[in-house]
Amino acid sequence: MDKCYLGVDIGSISTKGVIIDSNYNILSSNYIWTEGSPIEAVKRLIPTLKVPDGYKLSGIGTTGSARKLIGLMLGANIVKNEIIAHAIGTLNYYPDCKTILEIGGQDSKIIIINNGIITDYAMNTLCAAGTGSFLSSQSKRIGVDINDFGDMALNSKNPVKIAARCTVFAESDLIHKAQLGYKKEDIVAGLCKSIVLNYLNNVGKGKKIREPIVFQGGVSKNKGVVKYFNEVLNTKVIVDDNSHLMGAIGVAILSAKDNSNLDFNLDINDIKFETKGFECHGCSNSCEIVKIFKDDKFIDAFGNRCDKTIRIKQ
Amino acid sequence: MDRVIAFPLMGNYHVPAKYLLSKISDCKVMDAPKITSKTIELGSKNSPDFVCMPFKYTLGTYIECLDMGANTLIQMGGGCRYGYYSELQEKILKDLGYDFEYYNLVSKGYADIFKIYNTLKKINPKLKKIKSIYHFIITKNMVKYIDKIEDYIRGNKGFEEVDGCFDKEFNDMLNSYLNNKGLISLYLRYKKYKKRIKNIKLKKIDKRIKIGVIGELYTLMEPFANYNIEDALYKFNVEVKRFTNVTYLLFEKGKKSKKYLKKLNNVKYKMGADALDNIYYTKYLIDNKYDGIIHIKSSFCTPEIGSMGIINKMCEENDMPVLFMSMDSNTSKVGMETRLEAFYDMIEMRKNNG
């Protein structure tokens, strides 16, 4: 029986899942919205990913901002941060890639690769400026569906200038320009360009961006942003068809390399997962602790600074 | 009215500070409550928003101490914005309606022993010169011993066979320092614990990963301010090197700055606070083949912002991984953990691939 591996990337906006075989070919994949509840999203995601006949699930990896929680829920053998997962996934398709630009829902990162080894990386500071969530909130403001954003931006001949440093300034700029009567597509194009400039100013600051450049993350599906990356960097960035899945693919590969002997099981729909948040009053730290229950049985907790609560609550 | 002295916390230095103040002032010295999120909440609420983080931390501690009955506050000053803390904090606390006396022991960043003596004389008019010099020397040695032991622990704690051995011995040592009887008694205690700590069994690892942590002094030395970054690194089995400690800041910095300026060809003058020192450390870490550098500072720390550009360039030229982190009064650890984990994974990948 052939082996196959599941990788799940749970981001703030979207949840990605992929099943690969031992040669790292994609057997099935899916991309759904997280809608603020990672557990529910994974419960919806898993049934859509079919393990094909003749394959045995031999590894599960999780990454993304909810990686710990979902790792516990699925019994993953690998729980890895997004940076490594993205790099591993990308290197599988583009072994000679030197720079990875990634813009996701709540964070963006740049990864510099030298001879197949990550040599440097940077992430945005803890602020959502220049990320997907900024684009989606602005798309709501101007009443354009986020899926039409890219095509609309391509139609613009004269993108408006929008401050790129901070979303608060960008937003007030945007409102002023709209009131001045600029066309919608020019504003949309200006927004796409501001994302690019913001990214290069903040995340890419001081980093040498060398070709080949791979652009990925949810925002890479936006043609407008891709166009302005090409324009500003004066080159052509590579956008893979699976660019939104790279993190999930990477962590699936990592779980394959781990060679775990554990039993993996995807029948999670019958199992009740519950998280309970509470504030511990053991000391004045007042840690916000999240406890996780599997079928009403306590399995783990995080958010704690000491093990006091864990002892009490078990 | 009985005088109750309180002072802000930083790392483990409350032990020598408490020793010195209680010996010299002949009055009650309060154990400030440990820094918790409540401290930061109090501090941030009453501070200007854009002030650097140590201000918020120390102000929070003062408020907690005043509420617990302290009436004499001690602050130190430094070579950057830290030098203006005392005036502003005194005013904020007076505006909040507290009644207290406020003393600044160190100004301009150097420990001027005569000035400290004069200030302490105001607190305790009966203070004798000989007695105070004696206790100064003991305190200085105590700080030195703590720093020496901490330095050893930082290099080896990531490899202890049984978790918690180092912490236990170190805390025992701090407690024993507090009730020492004099210079010789202190020295014997130091010797005893040094031997014990060096006897702690370590795991043998061939290629140790070595990381240097540099940056702004308070954020480096107060574990709560940096989300306990050193402990997080020990979990990865990492050897940590930190240069900044109180011995260095108070007794060595003045002399060494000139030496650093001579050795560095990319810096022409001191850049305020520890910026120059951190640039020199970067050079040291690169020359000594460390695997990575983590630079931490509190947000808006101007001297360190100045040094970051130079450090970044040096690291880039020498292919040295460097991670910059800015801390503020937020308390969520997740963002830091992701970055630290990725940094460690990256270093490990580099190391395993040649």
Mutate to test the interface with B, among A117, A290, A308 (most CBs of B within 10 A): A117
| B348 and B279, same domain (yes or no) | yes
Q: Which regions of chain B are under pLDDT 50?
A: none
pLDDT at B240: 92
Task: For residue range A98-142, list pLDDT tens digits in order.
Answer: 999 988 877 788 998 887 788 888 887 656 666 777 888 888 878
Mutate to test the interface with A, among B307, B325, B327, B345 (most CBs of A within 10 A): B345
| B338 and B304, same domain (yes or no) | yes
Of B37, B312, B350, the CB nearest to A285: B37
| Separation in Å, CA B18 to CA B59, B61, B181, B313 | 18, 15, 15, 42
Chain B's closest residue to A67, CA to CA, is B338
Distance of alpha carbon B322 from alpha carbon B214, whole angstroms: 10
pLDDT at B331: 56
| pLDDT, mean over chain B | 86
Residue A267 lies inside a defined structural domain of this protein: no
| B215 and B228, same domain (yes or no) | yes
Residues in chain A closer than 8 A to B343 (CB atoms): 121
Task: For residue B92, give every residue at least 6 positions away whose Cβ sits within 8 Å of its Cβ, in sequence order, or none.
Answer: B46, B47, B59
| A214 and A278, same domain (yes or no) | no
Q: Supply the range of the domain harboring residue B163.
A: 128-204
Which residue blocks in chain B are alpha helix, DSSP H? 14-25, 37-46, 53-67, 85-95, 113-123, 129-156, 165-178, 183-198, 217-221, 229-235, 246-247, 253-263, 275-287, 302-317, 334-352
| B221 and B348, same domain (yes or no) | yes
| A176 and A203, same domain (yes or no) | yes
Specify which residues B29 forms β-bridges with.
Answer: B5
| B78 and B177, same domain (yes or no) | no
Would you give per-residue pLDDT tens digits along chain A (314 residues)?
Answer: 788 889 999 887 888 999 998 888 888 888 888 887 888 888 888 888 878 888 888 888 999 888 888 888 888 888 988 888 999 999 989 988 999 998 887 778 899 888 778 888 888 765 666 677 788 888 887 888 878 888 888 888 888 887 766 667 777 887 888 888 888 888 888 888 888 888 888 787 777 888 889 998 888 888 888 988 998 888 889 998 888 889 999 999 998 888 777 777 777 767 777 777 777 777 766 777 777 787 777 777 776 666 665 555 54
Residue A118 touches chain B, beta carbons under 8 Å? yes
Residue B334 touches chain A, beta carbons under 8 Å? yes
Task: For residue range B125-158, list pLDDT tens digits in order.
Answer: 888 888 888 888 898 899 999 999 999 999 998 8
| A227 and A154, same domain (yes or no) | yes
> How many domains are there within chain A?
3
Asked which of B127, B155, B174 is the last residue of a domain, the reply is B127
Provide the strand spans (E) within A106-159: 108-114, 117-123
| A49 and A116, same domain (yes or no) | no
Indicate which CATH number applies to the domain containing A142. 3.30.420.40
Residue A43 lies inside a defined structural domain of this protein: yes
Residue B353 touches chain A, beta carbons under 8 Å? yes
Of B326, B335, B349, the CB nearest to A118: B349
Chain A's closest residue to B232, CA to CA, is A305
Residue A266 lies inside a defined structural domain of this protein: no
Interface of B with A in 26-65 (CB under 8 A): 33, 36-39
| A11 and A56, same domain (yes or no) | yes
Distance of alpha carbon A296 from alpha carbon B131, whole angstroms: 65
User: What is the pairing mode between strands A14-21 and A2-10?
Assistant: antiparallel
Residues in chain B closer than 8 A to A116 (CB atoms): 353
Residue A165 lies inside a defined structural domain of this protein: yes
Residue B182 touches chain A, beta carbons under 8 Å? no
Task: For residue B88, give every residue at least 6 positions away whose Cβ sits within 8 Å of its Cβ, in sequence order, or none.
Answer: B55
| B145 and B248, same domain (yes or no) | no
| A287 and A218, same domain (yes or no) | no
Residue A117 touches chain B, beta carbons under 8 Å? yes
| A37 and A164, same domain (yes or no) | no
| B164 and B291, same domain (yes or no) | no
Residue B353: CB atoms within 10 A of its CB come to 10
Residue A280 lies inside a defined structural domain of this protein: yes
Residue A100 lies inside a defined structural domain of this protein: yes
Asked which of B97, B127, B157 is the last residue of a domain, the reply is B127
Residues in chain B closer than 8 A to A65 (CB atoms): 334, 338
Q: Supply the range of the domain harboring residue A284.
A: 273-313
| A253 and A297, same domain (yes or no) | no
Asked which of B127, B144, B160 is the last residue of a domain, the reply is B127
> How many domains are there within chain B?
3
| A83 and A135, same domain (yes or no) | no
Of A80, A117, A125, the CB nearest to B353: A117
Model pTM score: 0.83
| A15 and A74, same domain (yes or no) | yes
Reported residue count of chain A is 314
| B132 and B220, same domain (yes or no) | no
Residue A263 lies inside a defined structural domain of this protein: no
